[in-house]
Amino acid sequence: MRCTPFPSRSGGPLDSAPAIELSGLTKIFPHGVRALDGVDLAIPRGSLVGLLGPNGSGKSTTVKILCGLIRAFQGEARIEGTRLPDRRSARRIGYMPQQTALYTELSVSENLDFYASINGVRPAAERARRIDEMLGLFDLGERKREVVSALSGGMRQRVSLAAALLHRPPILLLDEPTVGLDPELRLAFWAYFKRLAADGATIVICTHAFDEVKHCSHLAFLKTGQLAAFGTTEELRSVAGSDDWETVYLAHVVRAGTAGPGAGTGGAS
């Protein structure tokens, strides 16, 4: 996969505000499950944040609140200063769900064209140009006319990522984007994410793959809906004094756990 520079992003009037800001974010689902419990987090622009935690720790819930798919129960979430949910932030977000979320009976380019058009990429010629650019970038040019159901899992994952990027959003929310990919493609994905962040995009990636966190600039450790630690990758690693990321994670979770529930602010951003 080649990596071409991502087109520059406009910062907007609130350039100084954190790209993503959570304060006291709490989500209790109707059936009583407390998925998030008072999470405070300020993510600076241009960071590549790994949201790390086991299943049920609140990663997907956080991303869904940021996408505007679900409402916070208490507290608030802001994207570029706009309190969510707010339709105006929709254009600024690129979302890649855990499932590939493509129309399997449509071709690769038809899928991309649909997502580009509902995200306001106009006119058609501009869409076609960006789709070709993406297909080239993700090495899918040969397969553009094939229906998605004929593609392998890795190819679908690439199409799915492309679908989230076509409108060049400054905020990317990716829910386990590298699950099921072979190591080579995984590395290519991470290289691309780093490139996007360097270009100014703010990227939040849910993952429970400890071997991948080294690629991130920042990490947020979640445990049963609480934020155990947040800081730069280097900070968190040196505080725990280990190179093994499972050990680092556990050290921070234990530290936060002894401080009592709700104590969820680790290092600085």
Binding site for other proteins (CB under 8 A): 67-71, 84-85, 87, 90-91, 93, 95, 97-104, 115, 118-120, 163
Of 104 and 152, nearer to other proteins (C-beta) is: 104
Q: 93-96 and 171-175: which strand pairing?
A: parallel
Q: Whats the size of the chain, residue-wise?
A: 269
Q: Would you say 115 and 49 are in contact if contact means Cβ atoms under 8 Å apart?
A: no
* Closest distance of CB 116 from other proteins, Å: 10
Report the C-alpha gap between 230 and 113 in whole angstroms: 37
Please, which residue, 170 or 231, has the CB nearer to other proteins? 170
Q: Name the minimum Å distance from CB 18 to other proteins.
A: 20
User: Considering only CA atoms, which of 221, 192, 215, 168 is closest in space to residue 58?
Assistant: 221
State which residue, 80 or 228, has the beta carbon closest to other proteins: 80
Minimum gap (Å) between residue 97 Cβ and other proteins: 4
Q: Please identify, using beta-carbon distances, which residue of 39 and 240 lies nearer to other proteins.
A: 39
Rounded to 5°, the CA angle 92-232-257 comes to 105
Q: Smallest distance from the beta carbon of 243 to other proteins, in angstroms? A: 36
Edge-to-edge strands of the sheet including 20-28?
34-43, 20-28, 74-79, 82-83
Give 260's contacts (C-beta < 8 A, 6+ positions apart): none
Cβ closest to other proteins, residue 69 vs residue 263: 69
Least CB distance from residue 64 to other proteins, whole Å?
8
Nearer to other proteins, 206 or 236 (CB): 206
**Cβ neighbours for 79, distance < 8 A, ≥ 6 positions apart:** 19, 20, 21, 66, 89, 92, 93, 171
Q: How far is the CB of 53 from other proteins (least distance, A)?
A: 21
